[in-house]
Amino acid sequence: MYFELAKRNLKRNLLRSILALLGIIIGVAAISSLGILGGGLKQGIMENLGSISNYIIVFPNYQNGYTSFDKKDVEKLRVLNCEVIPIYATSDFVYIKGKNRRIYTNIFGIDKDDINYLNLKVKISDTSAAVDTFFSKANEINIGNQLVIKNISFRVSGIYNSTYLFPDNSLILTAKTYKRLYGEKKYSRIILYVRDINNIDKIKKETERILNKKEKKCIIIALNSILEAINGVITKVSYFLMGIGAISLLVAGIGIGNVMLMSVVERTKEIGVMRSIGASKKDIIILFLYEALILGIIGSLIGAFLSLFFGYLIVHYLLKTSLSYYAIIYMLIGIFFGILTSLISALYPAYKASKLDPIKALRNE
C-alpha cells in the first residue's frame, strides 16, 4: 500500500515525475556507458597486448658494450622453468617479386619449433617466410607471394599481427635459413616464454642472477609490467570518465530533491491528515522514500539499458571489440548509484515532511 500510495502520488504530477526520471536516466546512462567505454578500452588493450604478458625479453646491455648473446648464455638459461627462445635479428633489403620493389626490413631468425611458443599463429619452413600485417598491407603481399632475400626466393607462408616482440615491417625466417643467409652465430636477444604468469617475477630474478652475476650484461624486461602500467592508466581514465558521468547524476539528484520538496509543500495538509489519523514520522519518511525509490529504480533500469545500447555502439564502432561481462558490471554500478542518489536526495524532503507540525499542516490550505 505504501508502494501503491507512492505510485499514485507520482502519477498525480506525471510531467514532473517524468522530468525527474529523465535526470536519473541520463545520469545512469552516462555513468554506465562511460564505464563501458573504459572497460572496452581495457579489453581492447588486452586483446592486442594480452598475449605478450607471458614473455620476458632479454636484451644485451649496449651501454656496457654488450651487443649480443652467445650459445653459452642461452644454455645457462635452460635450467629455468620456461622455454628459452634465442632470436637472431638483422636488417636487410627484401625484393618483392613481380612488384619490382625493394624494402629495408627487420629480419628475425627463430628456431622452427620455438615459433610455436610465440603465439604468432604462423608456420614457416626453411624455404618460406612470415611477414607482419603492416608489411603485408604496405606491400600488398599475401600468403603464396614470393620474396627474394640475397637472391634466394621464399614463399610467404604466414602473416602475423605485429607486437612489441616483432614490430611493424618485420619478417621471420627459420633459424636454419637465417644462418644460411647471414652465417651469424650470435643472438641479438632472448625471449623467455613463461607458461604461468605468476612465475614471471621469479624467473626474471633468476635470469638476472644468472646473466648479470658479475656486471650488468643484459637488460631484462617483463612485458606484464608494461601491461600493468597501461591497465593502471586506463583504469584511472575510466574512473575519471565515470566521475564526469557522476556529475550528471548529481544534477539528477538535485532535480529529485527539488521535485520532492515541491510535493512536500503541496501535500502539507495531507501530511497533517495522515499524522492525525495515526501516521508516525517514520511512516511519512517511508512514504516519500518510496516515491524516490520508484523513480530511482525505473530511471536506473532505463538508463542502464540505454547505456548497453550506447556501450555497444562505442565498443563496436569506435573500439572495434565486442561487449562482454564487464558491461554488466558497469550497468550494475550505474543502477546502484542511480538508486542511491534518488534515495539520498529524497532524505531531506522526507525528513522535512516528517517534521511538519500536524496542527499547522492541517491548517494549511
Partner 1 sequence: MIKLKNVTKTYKMGEEIIYALKNINLNIKEGEFVSIMGPSGSGKSTMLNIIGCLDKPTEGEVYIDNIKTNDLDDDGLTKIRRDKIGFVFQQFNLIPILTALENVELPLIFKYRNSMSEEERRKRALKCLKMAELEEKFANHKPNQLSGGQQQRVAIARALANNPPIILADEPTGALDSKTGEKIMQLLKKLNEEGKTVVVVTHDINVARFGDRIVYLKDGEIEREEKLGGD
Interface contacts to partner 1, rule CB under 8 A? 1-2, 5, 8-9, 11-12, 269-270, 273-281, 283, 358-359, 362
Other Cβ atoms closer than 10 A to 337: 22
Shortest reach from residue 19's CB to partner 1, in Å? 20
Bridge partners of 147, per DSSP, are: 96, 154
Q: Which is nearer to partner 1, 237 or 362 (CB)?
A: 362
Q: Which is nearer to partner 1, 237 or 279 (CB)?
A: 279
Shortest reach from residue 265's CB to partner 1, in Å? 16
Shortest reach from residue 364's CB to partner 1, in Å? 11
Shortest reach from residue 343's CB to partner 1, in Å? 20
Q: Which is nearer to partner 1, 220 or 286 (CB)?
A: 286
d(CA 351, CA 281): 8
Shortest reach from residue 2's CB to partner 1, in Å? 8
Q: Which is nearer to partner 1, 76 or 269 (CB)?
A: 269
Place of cell 498525480: 12
Shortest reach from residue 255's CB to partner 1, in Å? 23
Q: Which is nearer to partner 1, 5 or 332 (CB)?
A: 5
3-state secondary structure the chain: CHHHHHHHHHHHCHHHHHHHHHHHHHHHHHHHHHHHHHHHHHHHHHHHHHHHHHEEEEEECHHHCCCCECHHHHHHHCCCCCEEEEEEEEEEEEEECCCCEEEEEEEEEECCCHHHHHCCCCCCCCCEEEEEHHHHHHCCCCCCCEEEECCEEEEEEEEECCCCCCCCCEEEEEHHHHHHHHCCCCECEEEEECCCHHHHHHHHHHHHHHHCCCCCCEEEEEHHHHHHHHHHHHHHHHHHHHHHHHHHHHHHHHHHHHHHHHHHHHCHHHHHHHHHCCCCHHHHHHHHHHHHHHHHHHHHHHHHHHHHHHHHHHHHHHHCCCCCHHHHHHHHHHHHHHHHHHHHHHHHHHHHHHHCCHHHHHHCC
Shortest reach from residue 5's CB to partner 1, in Å? 7
Q: Which is nearer to partner 1, 101 or 355 (CB)?
A: 355
Q: Which is nearer to partner 1, 204 or 275 (CB)?
A: 275
Shortest reach from residue 285's CB to partner 1, in Å? 13
Shortest reach from residue 283's CB to partner 1, in Å? 6
CB 10, CB 3: distance < 8 Å: no
**Which phi and psi (to 5°) does residue 205 adopt?**
-65, -40
Q: Which is nearer to partner 1, 79 or 277 (CB)?
A: 277
Other Cβ atoms closer than 10 A to 20: 27
Q: Which is nearer to partner 1, 6 or 172 (CB)?
A: 6
Shortest reach from residue 295's CB to partner 1, in Å? 17
**In this structure, are strands 101-110 and 152-160 parallel, antiparallel, or unpaired?**
unpaired
Q: Which is nearer to partner 1, 13 or 235 (CB)?
A: 13
